[in-house]
Homo-oligomer: A and B are copies of this chain.
Amino acid sequence: MKYPGGFTKKGNSQVNYANRGMNFEADINITNDYYRDMDIAVIYKKPTPITINKVDYKSRVDAVIKEAHFNTPSTTDYNGIYKGKYIDFEAKETKLNYFPLSNIHQHQIEHLKKIIKHGGIGFILVNFKNLDKIYLLEGTKLFSFIESNERKSIPLEYFEKFGYLIKPKFNPRIDYLNIIDSIYFGGMV
Whole-angstrom distance from the CB of A117 to the nearest CB of chain B? 8
State the A residues within 8 Å of B (CB): 1, 3-5, 7, 9, 14, 16, 36, 39, 41-42, 44, 46-50, 52-57, 60, 63-71, 74-75, 79-86, 88, 111, 114-115, 117-120
Q: Tell me if B60 and A69 are in contact (CB < 8 A).
A: no
Contacts of A118 in B (CB 8 A): 41-42, 81-84
* Among all A-B residue pairs, the 3 with the closest Cβ atoms: A84-B119, A65-B68, A47-B49
The residue in chain B whose Cβ has the minimal distance to the Cβ of A49 is: B47
The residue in chain B whose Cβ has the minimal distance to the Cβ of A82 is: B118
What would be 19 A-B contacts, judged by CB atoms less than 8 Å apart? A3-B63, A4-B63, A9-B57, A14-B54, A14-B57, A16-B55, A41-B118, A42-B118, A42-B120, A50-B68, A64-B68, A65-B69, A65-B70, A79-B79, A81-B88, A81-B120, A82-B118, A84-B119, A85-B119
Number of identical monomers bound together in the oligomeric complex: 2
Whole-angstrom distance from the CB of A146 to the nearest CB of chain B? 20
From B36, B41, B66, B120, A14 is in contact (CB under 8 Å) with B66
The residue in chain B whose Cβ has the minimal distance to the Cβ of A117 is: B39
Take A50-B47, A83-B119 as given contacts and tell me if A64 and B55 are in contact as well, using a CB distance cutoff of 8 Å.
no
Whole-angstrom distance from the CB of A103 to the nearest CB of chain B? 14
Whole-angstrom distance from the CB of A12 to the nearest CB of chain B? 8
Q: Give Cα distance in the complex from A52 to B71, angstroms.
A: 14
Q: Tell me if A16 and B52 are in contact (CB < 8 A).
A: yes
Q: Tell me if A14 and B55 are in contact (CB < 8 A).
A: yes
Contacts of A84 in B (CB 8 A): 85-86, 118-120
